[in-house]
Chains A and B, each alone.
Chain A
Amino acid sequence: MMLDVQDLTRRFGRETALDGVSFSADAGERIAVVGRNGAGKTTLLRVLSTFLPADSGRASVAGFDLFSQGGAVRSVVGYLPEGAPLDPDLRVAEYLRFRGRLRRMSGRHLRRRLHDVAAFCGLAPVLSTRIRALSAGQRHAVGLADAILHEPDVLLFDDPLAAADAVQAREFARLLASPEISEGRLVLFSTHDAGLVRAAATRVLFLERGRLAADTTSIPLAGSLADWFDRWTHAEC
Chain B
Amino acid sequence: MPSPTAVLFRKECRVALRSTATWCVFAACASLVGLFFAFALREAAGGPATLPELFCTPLALAAPLPAAFFTMGLFARERHNGTLETLLTAPVTDAQTVLAKFSAACLLSLVALVLCLPVFHAYLRFAAPPPPWDARSFAAGCGAVAAATVLWTALGTFFSLLCRHESAAGAATLIAGLGLSLPVSGTVELPVESALEPWSLVAFARGVADTRPIFAALSGAAFFLFFSVRVLESRRWLPSAAA
Q: Are B236 and A52 in contact (CB under 8 A)?
A: yes
| Interchain CA distance A81-B18 in the complex, whole Å | 27
B92 at the interface (CB under 8 A from A): yes
Given the known inter-chain contacts A85-B81, A89-B15, A103-B91, please indicate yes or no for A12 contacting B239, CB distance below 8 A. yes
Q: Are B241 and A81 in contact (CB under 8 A)?
A: yes
Instruction: Map CB proximity to A onto B83-102 as digits: 1 under 8 Å, 0 otherwise.
Output: 10110111111000000000
Q: Are B82 and A74 in contact (CB under 8 A)?
A: no
User: A86 is contacted by which of B2, B7, B81, B239 (Cβ under 8 Å)?
Assistant: B81
Min CB gap B80→A, angstroms: 10
B11 at the interface (CB under 8 A from A): yes
Known: A51-B236, A102-B92. 12 other contacts (CB 8 A): A12-B238, A17-B239, A50-B89, A52-B236, A52-B237, A72-B91, A79-B86, A81-B82, A83-B82, A98-B7, A103-B90, A104-B1
A60 at the interface (CB under 8 A from B): no
Q: Tell me the chain A residues, 109-154 only, with Cβ under 8 Å from chain B.
A: 146
Q: Are B89 and A49 in contact (CB under 8 A)?
A: yes
B4 at the interface (CB under 8 A from A): yes
Closest A residue to B78 by CB, please name it: A87
Q: Are A146 and B91 in contact (CB under 8 A)?
A: no
Given the known inter-chain contacts A46-B241, A81-B241, please indicate yes or no for A89 contacting B89, CB distance below 8 A. no
Instruction: Map CB proximity to B onto A80-96 as digits: 1 under 8 Å, 0 otherwise.
Output: 01010111111000000
A-B contacts counted at CB < 8 A amount to: 71
Residues on the B chain within 8 Å of A174, using CB: none
Q: Are B239 and A77 in contact (CB under 8 A)?
A: no
| Interchain CA distance A63-B8 in the complex, whole Å | 28
- Count of chain A residues with a beta carbon within 8 Å of a chain B beta carbon: 31
Q: Are A146 and B89 in contact (CB under 8 A)?
A: no
Residues on the A chain within 8 Å of B7, using CB: 98, 101-102
Q: Are B85 and A51 in contact (CB under 8 A)?
A: yes
Closest B residue to A49 by CB, please name it: B89
Q: Are B91 and A71 in contact (CB under 8 A)?
A: yes
Q: Tell me the chain B residues, 149-205 only, with Cβ under 8 Å from chain A.
A: none
Residues on the B chain within 8 Å of A81, using CB: 82, 85-86, 89, 241
| Interchain CA distance A99-B92 in the complex, whole Å | 11
| Interchain CA distance A53-B82 in the complex, whole Å | 19
Residues on the A chain within 8 Å of B15, using CB: 87, 89-90
Min CB gap A48→B, angstroms: 10
A68 at the interface (CB under 8 A from B): no
A106 at the interface (CB under 8 A from B): yes
A75 at the interface (CB under 8 A from B): yes
Residues on the A chain within 8 Å of B236, using CB: 51-53
Instruction: Map CB proximity to A onto B1-32 as digits: 1 under 8 Å, 0 otherwise.
Output: 11010011001000100110000000000000
Residues on the A chain within 8 Å of B81, using CB: 85-88
Min CB gap A100→B, angstroms: 9
The interface centre, meaning the residue of B4, B85, B237 with most chain A CB atoms within 10 A of its CB, is: B85
Q: Are B93 and A89 in contact (CB under 8 A)?
A: no
| Interchain CA distance A86-B80 in the complex, whole Å | 11
Residues on the A chain within 8 Å of B92, using CB: 102
User: A51 is contacted by which of B1, B2, B4, B241 (Cβ under 8 Å)?
Assistant: B241
User: A79 is contacted by which of B2, B18, B89, B93 (Cβ under 8 Å)?
Assistant: B89
The interface centre, meaning the residue of A43, A77, A85 with most chain B CB atoms within 10 A of its CB, is: A85
Q: Are B241 and A89 in contact (CB under 8 A)?
A: no
Min CB gap B68→A, angstroms: 19
Q: Are B93 and A71 in contact (CB under 8 A)?
A: yes
Instruction: Enumerate the 4 nearest inter-chain pairs by beta-carbon distance, A residue then B residue, closest first.
Output: A85-B82, A74-B91, A12-B239, A75-B91
Residues on the A chain within 8 Å of B88, using CB: 50-51
Instruction: Map CB proximity to B onto A34-66 as digits: 1 under 8 Å, 0 otherwise.
Output: 000000000100100111110000000000000
| Interchain CA distance A143-B238 in the complex, whole Å | 23
| Interchain CA distance A146-B88 in the complex, whole Å | 14
Instruction: Map CB proximity to A onto B228-243 as digits: 1 under 8 Å, 0 otherwise.
Output: 0000000011110100
Closest B residue to A11 by CB, please name it: B239
| Interchain CA distance A88-B73 in the complex, whole Å | 13
Min CB gap B230→A, angstroms: 14
Closest B residue to A95 by CB, please name it: B11
Instruction: Map CB proximity to B onto A1-25 as digits: 1 under 8 Å, 0 otherwise.
Output: 0000000000010000100000000
- A-B contacts, 29 of them at CB < 8 A, read A43-B239, A46-B85, A46-B241, A49-B89, A50-B89, A51-B85, A51-B89, A52-B236, A52-B237, A53-B236, A53-B237, A74-B90, A74-B91, A81-B82, A81-B85, A81-B89, A81-B241, A86-B81, A98-B7, A98-B11, A99-B90, A101-B7, A102-B92, A103-B90, A103-B91, A104-B1, A104-B4, A104-B91, A146-B86
